[in-house]
Each structure stands twice: as C-alpha cells, then as structure tokens.
Amino acid sequence: MTSVASIWKADDTPRQAKRSPGGRRISHRRMASLAVYALLAVSALAGCQMTQSPFARMATNAGTALAAASTTMTFYHEGKLLNAYAVSSFAGYQSELDGLDQQITASGSGISAEEAQHLLTIYRQALAIVNDPCLQSSCDWRAQRTVLDQASHAFLRAVRP
C-alpha cells in the first residue's frame, strides 16, 4: 500500500525552467525581471500619451485612424479581408473621425491658421473617402488610398515639433 507521504514526495519533484524559443532555459527570476521591464515600458508609453495636449491626442488618433483606413482598403482589394469586415471597419473610422473639423479649428491647438486650414482641407477629402470608400473593383481605390495616406501623414506631422 502506498502511503500519503510517499505520494506527496513523488509529486514534489523540482520543476524545470521554461525554455525560450532558442532552446535556452529561462529562470523564473529572469521571467519576472522581463515582466517588470515590460510593465515599466508600457507605463512610460502611457505616461507620454497622458501628457499630450488635446490637439496632439486628436491629431494622433486621426492620423492612426486614417492609416488604418488606408490599410483596410489595401487589404480588402488584395483579398485579405471580407467585405463585411471592411464595411464595419470603415463605420468605426467614421465615428473616430466625425467632428474633427471643430477640434482642428479650436483655439489652443498650437498650430497656425495656415496649418489648420491645410488640415481641414485634407481632413474633408479623407472623410469623404471614409464615408464612401471604394470597395468595388471598378473604382480607383489606389487614388483613395493615396489621399488617406497623405491625410494620415499630415495629421501625424502636425503633432511632431
């Protein structure tokens, strides 16, 4: 008959360290330090986002939404996305970009009137595309993608000093 003590001892074997993709062993201490560094990096990035001005946050969000719209259009026409996904994605981009014209012209944006007018012009062109994207093969989707890319770059440049 097997005693409880012998079962406990049999189950109390030392655990092996996990192996990295390269085949090396990673100690628990090393994994913990990597997790701490990752958390510090994430908190530092989040801190940068929290210290941005409202205009910088708006311009960054607009630039990334327009870049995502361009990528969605490209992937759709390359056959990597279904129509339903592309339509749904563009609906999300619409809600992200809706009403930015008032934020662009708001006081305290830190950009000149000329820069604000340029952003407004390119924003309106890009929003027209987001509201009615070319999701058929018979239209010039590459021209639409170019406008989305230009608008994305303009918004992201407006944030950089």
- Got the DSSP string for 27-82? -HHHHHHHHHHHHHHHHHHHHHHHTS-HHHHHHHHHHHHHHHHHHHHHHHHTTSS-
Range with the poorest average pLDDT among 34-38, 61-65, 97-101: 34-38
Chain segment 5-22, per-residue pLDDT in tens: 444 444 444 444 444 445
Is 159:56 a contact under the CB 8 Å cutoff? yes
C-alpha span between 156 and 128 (Å, rounded): 19
Chain segment 138-160, per-residue pLDDT in tens: 899 999 999 999 999 999 999 88
SS (H, E, C) 53-68: CHHHHHHHHHHHHHHH
Domain boundaries, the chain: 23-51, 53-159
The pLDDT of residue 39 is above 70? no
Question: Within its chain, how far is the Cα of 121 from the centroid?
Answer: 24
pTM of the model: 0.68
For residue 2, CA distances in Å to 9, 11, 130 come to 11, 13, 71
